[in-house]
Structure 1
Amino acid sequence: MAPQSLHLTLANLLIPVAILTFAAGFFPYKPFMPGLATFEELRWDDKWDWQRRGTPERKFDRLVFMVVDALRSDFVYGNGSGMEFTQSLIRDGAALPFTAHATSPTITMPRVKAITTGSIPSFLDVILNFAESDTTSTLAAQDTWLAQLRAQDGGKGRLVMYGDDTWLKLFPGFFERQDGTSSFFVSDFTEVDNNVTRHVPGELLNTDWNAMIMHYLGLDHIGHKTGPLGPNMIPKQVEMDSIVRDIYTAIENEEHLENTLFVLAGDHGMNEGGNHGGSAPGETSPALVFMSPKLKKITEFTDRTSPAEPKGEFEYYKKVEQSDIAPTLAGLLGFPVPRNNLGVFIEEFLFLWDDASDRIQLLLRNAEQVKKIVEATYPNLYFGYDRKDFKTDCGQSLSDGEKLACKWSGVVDIMGTFATIHPRLRISQLYWFLRAAQETMSTTASNYDVSKLVLGTSIAFAAFSLAFFSLNRTRPFSFTGIFFTLTLLLYGVLMFASSYVEEEQNFWYWMTSAWFFYLFMQASREAWQSWFIFHPAIVLLFLHRITRRWNQTGQKFAGAPDIVHSSLFRGSSSVVLWSLIGACYMDITMRLARHVARSVAGKDDPPGKDGKVEETNEGERLMGMMAVFPLGATAFVFKLAFTVNDAPELTRGIAHGMLYWAASLELVGLARMVFGGIALVTGWMVLYEWRASRARMSSEQGNGNLAVSLFDLFTLFLITQTKAENIPLYLIFRMQTFLLSFLDLSPTAISLTSLLLGQTTFFALGNSNAISSIDLSNSYNGVSGYNVLAVGALLFASNWAGPIYWSLVGVLLLGSHGRKQRHIATGELDARDWVAVEREHLIKLAEREKEGAERRQDPGAWRQHVGLLTLFISGATVAVMLACTVLRQHLFIWTVFSPKYLFAMAWGVGHHLGVDVLLGGCLWWLGTW
């Protein structure tokens, strides 16, 4: 192996090693205290003047915990909400409403962990949330309120669970009865919820459980598909409200349920696009409602207005931390606070106990449990019970740990010295410590393994260096190389600014515009000069402008007007959208028909005796169209049927009869027909080109038709994985590909162009660096059950469809450039004639190469192409790693930089190694047939 090839191979092998090494140090599992907490004797007892001993009496002996996925606060509390019965309970005093603050990442698994343990979960749970088969994230060994409920009454506690199977993965073997549903069938608005509801009436009559957990998914799925204002949102809220009514009515009427606490909670909210995962106010503001007739006793809660007006953005009533649920349930249901809890008992519920000593004891047990975590975090500080250095200010000059130690000394002082002090002052002092500890410990940086961060970054830099040495640097440094270097340097610098990471799309939009303008300036001296407005680079700039306006993404402009959400495609204008979608499918069907027609007629290779390639006639083209038309039509029908069920607002204006017929079709079967048809045509084309290549002379080179055929087939697959409103973009991509073939791009320029357009279209299709932008809607096309490989591949293809497309276009342009150079070198084709040949992109060259003159595609060009892409991805990865390491104490480390690193992992492993290197390499090799 040549040294340059060896360097490139090692560089690509080191990229995943670097990424995984850094991730192991950046996303470690947080340590936790094992075992279940137990009630311990309070060390303050002999200093109290109250005579009561023992734990406070529990107020409830059963729990119904109903989670509605993505139940944003305004869905329950706001004007126009469909949850009118729940609002009536708030007005009557039987329900205490709160807005729960859900910390980022706002994904189901970490939020369920926060709710059940009271702790702050690891950001790594974002990845585990998508790995449904993962078992390493189990909470079976951790202290949770579920484990405490099971341990009650001598271990006789029994739990039942229905809904999102995330709970079954987190708590294996915990439930007496269970029925889980997958959370990733986001097109299912009804069955996932009906499967939960059908169990409710029977369980409300059973007396053998002390906790029933339900997790409804339909509202979240509606949000993903149509946003918070979608037509199905209010009916779903009404449905959830009817379930609340049924459960509360049973609590009022069934004797065995009279001491039941009913909790309605959202695990997270959603943004204006209906997604979640980030830290936007809508995503971090789920509703939290405690319901029971007993709560009418709490007259101190005076804000009973419902519906209500928000105090801030999505902030209704009092705001509490989601982790506060765990200690609050512990007090209300009479079990110890879970060991790893950072939550604080919600103050309003203290008034269920008349005796002040009970109220103080609840908070004191909460405070002692939190203090143990603080002690473990700051082992060099003293938190003893004999402190006498009580300070009233605990000022700014102290470190975080010292401030907590100072505030704990205040607890020691007020609990142990003044026996007759008013209970309210003790409660205030305890809350002073608890809330300070919660804030400090919740924002304390993860237990980073800095050595692994440095090692991972070093390995990535080694990959960058090897990629650099793999490049052919014998040629003079061109402007293209300067532009490439400038792009990489600017990108690296911008990774250190949170606002630029959030709005990264603007960087790529401007760099791509600058590159197209340079291509125009470079070629302006040619004949295009007098017709500059029709110059390919100018038209590319115009099309690029349309592309960047298609979807407004990022954070700042996410809700700004764009083409997708304009009246152009909505309402009765959806006919325009489907006309463009139909044109896109027709274009690709016709191209596939030409490929099949040539293969059926056998008119590609070898050429006739006169050295000419015979054109396909009308009949043969008709045969090709008849062969592939069913595939194109099925793909179009699938997309229509999928959209009717998925986003019906995009199909208004289409004949009702057609929509009714499309809605009745079975989507999994249709998708499998499309994928099967693509596989069948792929097999046919490969078989034909293989036979044709064997018929050539050994020195002859294929014309690249197979590579183009497979590219078109893969484009059909990518369209299938794309949301309907984005499919017309592929017409623009097709025009841009056509225009690029007119430009005399060097191999380096081709690599840079495919890189820029790949990054640009990632954002143009609606993606961003926020986890909430990940689209799950097409991840189950053709899949009837969860399969981690199939769902993962479809999920990646649907979100990286644009970059995949342009990565493959780069391979085709590179192969086309190589054939062009060979024909010019042999004197068979003038450089100016190549434009005409490219215009008929799929027609074979007119004459056979002179024997021995043709040679295989230059492997050096492919190595240079992969080397440039490897250089960029390794350099970009180094920049992201450095930013995450240097800014690991930054306020936005978990909301901006950590999600960016997850995307960097996907770009480095999924796109670069999977698409640029493996898939692109296969296409390059097949282009030699």
Structure 2
Amino acid sequence: MLWLVTLLLQVSGLLLFLRGFFPSKTVEPGYNQKAIDVPPKFDRMVFMVVDALRSDFMFSNESSFETIHSLIREGCALPFTAYSNPPTVTLPRLKGITTGSTPNFLDAVLNIAESDTSSTLKNQDSWISQLKQQGKSMHMFGDDTWIKLFPGIFDVTDGTSSFYVSDFTEVDHNVTRHLDEELATNKWDVLILHYLGLDHIGHKGGPRSPFMEEKQKEMDSIIKMLYGSLDESTLLVVMGDHGMNDVGNHGGSSAGETSAALAMISRGFDLKQDAPLPYSSDFTFYDRVKQIDLVPTLSLLLGLPIPRNSLGVLIPAVKSLWTEIEQSVILKDLCSHFDGRGVEVECTEQGLLSAQGELMQASSEYVEKYMITGVLLLILSAIVSVWCTMRLHVKLRDKTAMLVFSLVYASSMFGSSTVEEEHQFWFWCTSALLVYGSVTTKTNKLEWVMSLVILRVFRGWRHPGQKWPEGPDFTRMFQDHSTSLWLLILVEYFHLFRRLRGGLLGSLAVIGSLVYKASTTYYGGEYIPSFLARFVFRESRLDGIVQIVYIMCGLLALIKTVNGTLSVELLELILVTQSRPSNIPLLLLSHALRRFLKRTDIRTNSVASTLICMSIGYSLFFASGGSNSLATVDLGNAYNGVGSYNVTLVGLLTFVSNWVGPIYWAVVNRDLCPDLRMRFAVRQLFYTIAMASICFACLLLKGHLFIWTVFSPKLLYATAWLLFQHGLVETVCPIIFDRFMHNDNVL
């Protein structure tokens, strides 16, 4: 009963802390009514966002934006690398480039809730609202995040869901199909276009995907069409809302994610520069500016009042469009705009930049009473858990191992580097636990040695962490030896086929899963063996195939439940289907590892077996490419069988595809430690101490430089580990398995 009390205290404390740590951002109400007294340079604007357009995609010598390169050389395009503040996801970035304010980290969570309306900017000052107040006509086509942010403001819209990442083409054709009519009729003052295909290609295949060059050429042709139809009174802005990392994801603070391309294009510009430029690994091309600086720059170019909450300054390269007297007026008014916001502003360009930096680094408006109360409840839950642990009927050395394990992990949550490189803790800790298991049992040591060998393979499978992502690993080796990878994949499917024992239904489910993985890999532009290529289905049928696979799995689960033979192999089939091809061999190795562990007498030590399974699960999370950065959330399998965006289904599939290893080893733990209460006790002690330390670290370090780039993402991941992995997978699901699974059929 006391263990359940600790769980209740833990969840209550966490929810309270999250409410205080992620409050709604307070903004100054009202709208700025006075524009700076300088003449505007443009009457109309086309604002084109290419989602995830990293700076090198547009400006490097590896880019296919030939029209942009030509316009830069002619002096008609002003190119920049625009720094996008983390979190580098669409919703907070659109807030930044329309209001000029720094993002609220909570927006990174709201970004995936398509039906959410709490993030609306309808009543906040932005250049969109300023245009609306002046009676300007605005047409918007593309990412429907704009419609969520500005409901009822646009005169004409056609929104497209940004989350169906399997779509590379239609999601952009739905935008382009409107252009001929829009450019012919000119019934707009501002035309907003938001293309999503390049971002989707990144999520599925990374920045080096074979589809990337074709998509860049498509976007370049659209820019060419737009430029050819516009006159000197119309400004064309082409930009990325953020970039992407080397895997193709975004959300974090790496150089690739925060370096977005920005080009301001007009026939009236005359500033010739070289293009393209040599590739740069730091993604800096031309002048580097802050993305929020675009807001006052656009306001001045269009003759609008600068939005009230803007922290941007005028982009220096644009200043030459006004006379020196007009530039001094702009500087004075920008200083006046910053004055009175809690900083002293020296009315010089350097003073303005200093004030901007000070305001951008200002702490978030935390609700500390909720944070402190939440931490106290979490600490209380940890204390009660320790007390309950002391009452367990296990050896003192096992209680000590539980406490030391949990406390060492808790202490690592107070350093930014140890959070970023958390995988080091889990790999070393798992090794230590395997040695501990071998010492506390009497079995032959060969099984333990082989277990350590497999763990070493896990460690080298994919280079995890955030500091040194370019290290050598097996996945990079398989890029040059794809045949070897697919041989391992086929071995896993054959092994699964042999062990599943599901009759015709099970055989068809396994074959369907293999065909689906081969087909999606083929259409993703990656290599598959020639004999498998013969069985590739048309792309339009893939959703139906995986739906049939999951229906068969459901029927098979029902049949096995009735017969009392429900086994872990059925779950393994689902996990294989939800895995990236490069990670499927990890499940094959996991099967070998659990066989070695089963040959030992680790079942006699419930504490050691549970700690080992939990540690292996965490290790596999990092070995599969996970980290404590939002950028490593893998969306590549989030839409398997889902024809359109559904927050519940997509959320569930996203969790399963990112937590494959932990889910698998949570279920395997049931056979190595049949005592459900002991499994819960060991894990609950760890999670109570870990969550208390993570929230306490965020409370103490709320003014830390890395609070939003390191500690806040870690808090979100810890919440997912607690609520979904520990609460759902490790607590609720085992109760179901214990009801329906026979011990002899688990492994």
- Corresponding residue of 1:441: 359
CA offset at residue 518 of structure 1? 2.6
Query: Are residue 55 (structure 1) and residue 50 (structure 2) matched?
Result: no
My pick for the range that moved more, 473-482 or 916-925, is: 473-482
- Corresponding residue of 1:775: 634
Contact map agreement 1:513 1:541 (CA 8 A) in 2: yes
Q: Give the distance between the partners of 1:681 and 1:93, measured in 2 at CA.
A: 65
3-state SS of the aligned residue for 1:448? coil
Query: Are residue 675 (structure 1) and residue 564 (structure 2) matched?
Result: no
Query: Are residue 650 (structure 1) and residue 559 (structure 2) matched?
Result: no
- Corresponding residue of 1:905: 719
Q: Give the distance between the partners of 1:779 and 1:192, measured in 2 at CA.
A: 17
3-state SS of the aligned residue for 1:286? strand
- Corresponding residue of 1:666: 541
Contact map agreement 1:37 1:338 (CA 8 A) in 2: yes
- Corresponding residue of 1:607: none
Question: For residue 912 of structure 1, what is the amino acid of its counterpart?
Answer: H
Contact map agreement 1:467 1:868 (CA 8 A) in 2: no
Distance 1:475-1:10 versus aligned 2 partners, 3 A rule: closer
Query: Rg larger in 1 or in 2?
Result: 1
Q: Give the distance between the partners of 2:638 and 2:532, measured in 1 at CA.
A: 28
Question: For residue 570 of structure 1, what is the amino acid of its counterpart?
Answer: Q
Q: Give the distance between the partners of 1:74 and 1:440, measured in 2 at CA.
A: 30
Contact map agreement 2:141 2:158 (CA 8 A) in 1: yes
Question: For residue 771 of structure 1, what is the amino acid of its counterpart?
Answer: L
Pick one of 172, 177, 188 that aligns with 1:198. 177
Q: Give the distance between the partners of 1:106 and 1:686, measured in 2 at CA.
A: 45
Question: For residue 133 of structure 2, what is the amino acid of its counterpart?
Answer: A
Distance 1:688-1:500 versus aligned 2 partners, 3 A rule: same
- Corresponding residue of 1:605: none
My pick for the range that moved more, 464-473 or 725-734, is: 464-473
Contact map agreement 2:50 2:196 (CA 8 A) in 1: yes
3-state SS of the aligned residue for 1:545? helix
Distance 1:747-1:117 versus aligned 2 partners, 3 A rule: same
CA offset at residue 370 of structure 1? 2.3
Pick one of 319, 343, 353 that aligns with 2:322. 353
CA offset at residue 793 of structure 1? 0.7
Question: For residue 472 of structure 2, what is the amino acid of its counterpart?
Answer: P
- Corresponding residue of 1:454: 372
Query: Are residue 123 (structure 1) and residue 41 (structure 2) matched?
Result: no
Query: Are residue 281 (structure 1) and residue 255 (structure 2) matched?
Result: yes
Pick one of 113, 133, 136 that aligns with 2:95. 113
Contact map agreement 1:644 1:662 (CA 8 A) in 2: no
My pick for the range that moved more, 488-497 or 323-332, is: 488-497
Question: For residue 754 of structure 1, what is the amino acid of its counterpart?
Answer: C
Question: For residue 363 of structure 1, what is the amino acid of its counterpart?
Answer: L
Q: Give the distance between the partners of 2:530 and 2:30, measured in 1 at CA.
A: 60
Distance 1:364-1:189 versus aligned 2 partners, 3 A rule: same
Contact map agreement 1:248 1:262 (CA 8 A) in 2: yes
Q: Could you list the runs of 5+ residues in structure 1 that have no partner in the other structure?
A: 1-5, 41-53, 252-256, 379-403, 412-428, 597-623, 690-704, 816-860
- Corresponding residue of 2:208: 229
Query: Are residue 739 (structure 1) and residue 647 (structure 2) matched?
Result: no
- Corresponding residue of 1:728: 585
List per-residue Cα deviations over 1:186-245 (Å, max 9, x = no partner). Answer: 222222111111112221112221111111111112222222222222221111111111
My pick for the range that moved more, 778-787 or 116-125, is: 778-787
Contact map agreement 1:463 1:874 (CA 8 A) in 2: yes
Contact map agreement 2:42 2:234 (CA 8 A) in 1: yes
Q: Give the distance between the partners of 1:755 and 1:733, measured in 2 at CA.
A: 13
Pick one of 625, 630, 635 that aligns with 2:513. 635
List per-residue Cα deviations over 1:508-561 (Å, max 9, x = no partner). Answer: 0011111112333444x65x3xxx5xx111110011111111111112231211
Contact map agreement 1:324 1:343 (CA 8 A) in 2: yes
- Corresponding residue of 1:546: 457
Q: Give the distance between the partners of 1:671 and 1:311, measured in 2 at CA.
A: 41
Q: What is the 5 A alignment of 1:221-300?
A: 221-251=200-230, 257-296=231-270
Distance 1:520-1:808 versus aligned 2 partners, 3 A rule: same
Q: What is the 5 A alignment of 1:287-686?
A: 287-296=261-270, 301=271, 304-309=273-278, 313-354=282-323, 356-372=324-340, 374=341, 378=342, 404-405=343-344, 407-408=345-346, 411=347, 429=348, 431-471=349-389, 473=391, 475=393, 477-523=395-441, 528=444, 532=445, 535-566=446-477, 569-571=478-480, 573-593=481-501, 596=502, 624=503, 626-646=504-524, 648-651=525-528, 653-655=529-531, 658=534, 661-664=536-539, 666-686=541-561
Using CA pairs below 8 Å that are at least 6 residues apart, which structure has the higher relative contact order?
Answer: 2
Pick one of 678, 682, 694 that aligns with 1:864. 678
Q: Could you list the runs of 5+ residues in structure 2 that have no partner in the other structure?
A: none
Pick one of 36, 51, 65 that aligns with 2:47. 65
Q: Give the distance between the partners of 1:486 and 1:265, measured in 2 at CA.
A: 50
CA offset at residue 768 of structure 1? 0.5
Question: For residue 710 of structure 2, what is the amino acid of its counterpart?
Answer: V
CA offset at residue 813 of structure 1? 2.1
Question: For residue 362 of structure 1, what is the amino acid of its counterpart?
Answer: I
Question: For residue 893 of structure 1, what is the amino acid of its counterpart?
Answer: I
Give the paired residue count. 741
Q: Give the distance between the partners of 1:205 and 1:359, measured in 2 at CA.
A: 36
Q: Give the distance between the partners of 2:384 and 2:577, measured in 1 at CA.
A: 38
Q: What is the 5 A alignment of 1:211-226?
A: 211-226=190-205
Contact map agreement 2:44 2:233 (CA 8 A) in 1: yes
My pick for the range that moved more, 761-770 or 311-320, is: 311-320
CA offset at residue 492 of structure 1? 1.1
My pick for the range that moved more, 556-565 or 775-784, is: 556-565
My pick for the range that moved more, 186-195 or 919-928, is: 919-928
Q: Give the distance between the partners of 2:601 and 2:391, measured in 1 at CA.
A: 21
CA offset at residue 258 of structure 1? 3.6
Query: Are residue 189 (structure 1) and residue 168 (structure 2) matched?
Result: yes
List per-residue Cα deviations over 1:57-94 (Å, max 9, x = no partner). Answer: 21111111111111111111111210111011111110
Pick one of 85, 88, 108 that aligns with 1:103. 85
Question: For residue 744 of structure 1, what is the amino acid of its counterpart?
Answer: D
Contact map agreement 1:342 1:438 (CA 8 A) in 2: yes
List per-residue Cα deviations over 1:814-868 (Å, max 9, x = no partner). Answer: 22xxxxxxxxxxxxxxxxxxxxxxxxxxxxxxxxxxxxxxxxxxxxx32222121
List per-residue Cα deviations over 1:403-448 (Å, max 9, x = no partner). Answer: x42x44xx3xxxxxxxxxxxxxxxxx1x233211210111111111
Contact map agreement 2:505 2:552 (CA 8 A) in 1: no
CA offset at residue 807 of structure 1? 0.7
Contact map agreement 1:758 1:803 (CA 8 A) in 2: yes
CA offset at residue 656 of structure 1? 8.0
**Percentage of matched positions with identical amino acids:** 40
Contact map agreement 1:68 1:264 (CA 8 A) in 2: yes
My pick for the range that moved more, 773-782 or 190-199, is: 190-199
Q: Give the distance between the partners of 1:863 and 1:80, measured in 2 at CA.
A: 58
Contact map agreement 2:139 2:157 (CA 8 A) in 1: yes
Distance 1:483-1:25 versus aligned 2 partners, 3 A rule: same
Question: For residue 613 of structure 2, what is the amino acid of its counterpart?
Answer: S
Pick one of 734, 738, 741 that aligns with 1:924. 738
Query: Are residue 78 (structure 1) and residue 60 (structure 2) matched?
Result: yes
Question: For residue 323 of structure 1, what is the amino acid of its counterpart?
Answer: I
